[in-house]
Amino acid sequence: MVLVDIQNLRVQFHIGRDVVYALRGISMQIERGTRTAIVGESGSGKTVTATSMLRLLPPTARITEGRILFQGTDLLALDENELRRIRGSKICMVFQNAAAALNPLYPVGQQIADVYHHHNGGSKREAWQRAVEVLAATGIPHPEVRARNYPFEYSGGMAQRAMIAMALVCSPQLLIADEPTSGLDVTIQVQVLDLIQDVVERLNATLVLISHDISLVSAICNRVIVMYAGTVMEAGTAGQVLEHPANPYTIRLLECFAGTDGEEMPYIPGRVPDLREQWQGCCFAGRCPRAQDICWRESPALRQVEPGHYSSCHFS
């Protein structure tokens, strides 16, 4: 069953006189219970996709077209009150910089208790107890002491755990994690990813993980969506996309990650197109070794190459 259905979403940013076309008509389906990774370079539109789902786009952004269906309701058509009921209780988000995502003026436990109290009511004491429980569940030592600490007393990894605890206390159906491991030590990265996977399984929730690091993604996700320059290049199960990718961009991207074998580090020649421009053909044509005339004339549609595996390329 499809939990989130994004249909032909277009988002623009108006910055001064420039218009940045951040999302150029993307479509994706996220099945209930899956762990989906959205991967791509900086500026590929992965974070914009996630923030659109929560309608957290900055005021300079305009959603010009498309729908985001969450359990059948269009999130883009909801008013502020209806949206608030969904945020935090059905969709939750873990931020990139967890230390900045906690208000420096309140103890961590209180912030978690607030979220619980806000959605479930009950007594303050009960909410506090629940906050301590989830902190313990996310592996924070001495949770009853730590709950009374302020965010500046937490390390980066602990702050990320606290953010995950906050997501846990909401028990959402959809958890969006926006680069949850960037800025953490490699050893902590694995722990945090394991914790996210654990929490998602416990809640029976759906995970959308945004990352640029394919190796981390392959560890916990079972579906992968590859984005480039505001378009979806390839989507499929982790095995399909990572083992035998169909799209030239994914192939080149994986080559870059595959290692160097002591030779020159592989890279994709050319550069990412200017997102302020609109073009006719494929967004990857300028860097693609297989590019033909048609790639410059027509933009390829997302086509199914095998069951559940989609690629937007004229030749795949």
Partner 1 sequence: MTTAVANPKGASFTRPSLLRRLVDTNGFWRVAINFGVLLVFIGLGILAPVLPLQNPVKPSPMNTLQPPSAENWFGTDRDGMDIFSRTIHAIRTDFTLAISSVLIGIALGVPLGAISGYYGGLLDNILTRITEVFQGFPQILFGMAFIAAAGNTLTNVVLIVAFYNIPVYSKMVRSVVVPLRDVEFVQAARVAGNSSLRIVFRHIIPNALVPVFAQLPLSCAYAVQMIAGLSFIGLGVEIPKPEWGSMIQVGANYIVFGKWWLSVFPGLALFCSVWVLNNISDILKSLWTRRV
Which residues are near partner 1 by CB under 8 A? 54, 56, 58-59, 80, 84-89, 91-93, 95-97, 100-105, 114-115, 118-119, 141-142, 145-146, 148-149, 153, 155, 157-158, 163, 166, 170
Min dist. Cβ of residue 115 to partner 1 (A)? 5
Based on CB atoms, which residue is closest to partner 1, 91 or 208?
A: 91
Based on CB atoms, which residue is closest to partner 1, 65 or 144?
A: 144
Beta bridge partners of 26: 9
Cα–Cα distances (Å) from 144 to 66, 150, 195, 307, in that order, read 46, 13, 20, 49
Residue linked to tokens 């939990």: 3
Min dist. Cβ of residue 293 to partner 1 (A)? 44
Sign of CA dihedral 286, 251, 242, 300: positive
Based on CB atoms, which residue is closest to partner 1, 2 or 145?
A: 145
Radius of gyration from C-alpha coordinates of the chain:
20
Min dist. Cβ of residue 170 to partner 1 (A)? 7
Based on CB atoms, which residue is closest to partner 1, 172 or 236?
A: 172
Min dist. Cβ of residue 99 to partner 1 (A)? 9
Min dist. Cβ of residue 261 to partner 1 (A)? 37
Alpha carbon distance 234, 252 (integer Å): 13
Based on CB atoms, which residue is closest to partner 1, 176 or 217?
A: 176
Per-position b or e across 75-108, b if 16+ CB within 10 A of its CB: bbebeeeeeeebbbbbbbbbbbbbbebbeeeebb
DSSP 8-state assignment for residue 275: T
